[in-house]
Amino acid sequence: MLGCVLWIEEFNLATWTKWMTLPEWTSVQATWASSSDHSKPQLIPPKYRHHKLPLRFEPRTASELGSGIQSLAATHEQLIIGWTGDILSPTPSEHIASETVDSKDRAALDEALLAYQPKESDPDDDRKITYVPVWLDDKVGHGHYDGYCKQTLWPLFHYLLWQDVATEYASADAHYPYYEFANAAFARKIAQVYQPGDLVWVHDYHILLVPRLVREAIPDVVLGLFVHTPFPSSEIFRCLPRRKEILDGMLGANLICFQTYSYSRHFTSTCVRVCGYETNSRGIDVEGHVTAIMHCPVGVDAERVGRDIKRPGIQPKLEALRTLYENKKIIVGRDKLDVVKGVLQKVCVSHLIFVFSPARRRI
């Protein structure tokens, strides 16, 4: 069973997958997908035009996440579970509070999602992706994402501790109820669509409580968790007020994968030092439930990228760029404006290239 789970270790979006070689198997994956604009977290597909049909969807997610899902779609049926994100209004720069959307409009979204397929989908693939939305009140959704995820977990996982010593505990814990509520909503939705034999694959730090919550509802579930962020050393992680709740939530999985060996080692030592759990050759033992720990670097679907280059309309754009920048080389960078991304350092390095190598100033 774990061998099947490992086959999809690189995929970042939660999907419901029917294994073609084992017809009786299906898989459900869950994730928190966001747009590149952190102020507007989104679901795939995220945008729902209130009271206007047909509904308009604009999928937004990190490129490696999308690549993973599309690669899996070539061989599997999938069900993706995600938050609706902000619901845009027909009026520019406005959005509709999700709690004001009635059951009729929510049902209309569910129906529209059944026929929706991203434009990046392989036209030769007849295995469609099914999307299932998770509805959260705006206060909960943004308290979860902009609050606990981005103000507490994200800095901590990148070794950036809270600076206000006087209110450190309160500020680090202020948005936890929203995080807990959102995770519970995801777990309930998974339990609703789950069928015996399904595989559940949960992704990233936004929903670390989901594995335990799902296991409490479905004790025999086969569930994996992939953490795409770094995982800090135990000395840093123990600064988190809700450290035990987060660790116990993660350990509800059968398998936890990290990007590197050092992250997996940090997680194991943290479980031992913070919670006092025992480890053995199979993983971490929590009252008889053993969670395997591995490092499985995420990859890029190179074959899909190669196909995309040949899509209609791409070559003319490439030729236009070659003509515009003839006899020059182009340095391209794409980063979110986040303190952990090192954008300033990358700009400085580019400047130094030109300073110490004048011949490259025309690239």
φ, ψ for residue 306 (rounded to 5)? -65, -40
CB 26 within 8 A of CB 17: yes
What string of DSSP letters covers 292-321? EEEE------HHHHHHHHTSTTHHHHHHHH
- Show the tokens assigned to 113: 């999602």
Tens digit of pLDDT per residue, the chain (363 long)?
Answer: 222 222 222 222 233 222 222 223 334 555 544 333 433 333 333 333 333 434 565 555 555 566 556 656 666 677 888 888 888 777 777 788 888 888 888 888 888 887 777 665 555 555 667 888 899 999 999 999 999 999 999 999 999 887 655 555 567 788 999 999 999 999 999 999 998 888 888 988 999 999 999 999 999 999 999 998 999 999 999 999 999 999 999 999 999 999 999 999 999 999 999 999 999 999 999 999 999 999 988 777 777 778 888 888 888 998 898 899 888 877 788 788 887 888 888 888 888 888 888 777 665
- Show the tokens assigned to 211: 């594995």
pLDDT of 68: 57
What are the E-state strand segments in 215-330? 222-227, 255-258, 278-280, 283-286, 289-295
pLDDT of 129: 75
Note the maximum CA span of the chain.
65
- Those residues with Cβ within 8 angstroms of residue 11's Cβ, 6 or more apart along the chain or in another chain: 29, 65, 68, 69, 71, 72, 201, 203, 226
pLDDT of 11: 27
pLDDT of 65: 60
Residue 90 and residue 95: Cα distance in Å, rounded?
8
pLDDT of 128: 67
Q: Name the DSSP letter for residue 197.
A: T
pLDDT of 163: 64
Nearest residue to 332 (alpha-carbon basis) of 340, 323, 321? 321
pLDDT of 230: 94
- Those residues with Cβ within 8 angstroms of residue 25's Cβ, 6 or more apart along the chain or in another chain: 4, 18, 19, 197, 198, 199
Residue 298 and residue 68: Cα distance in Å, rounded?
9
Beta bridge partner(s), residue 129: 78
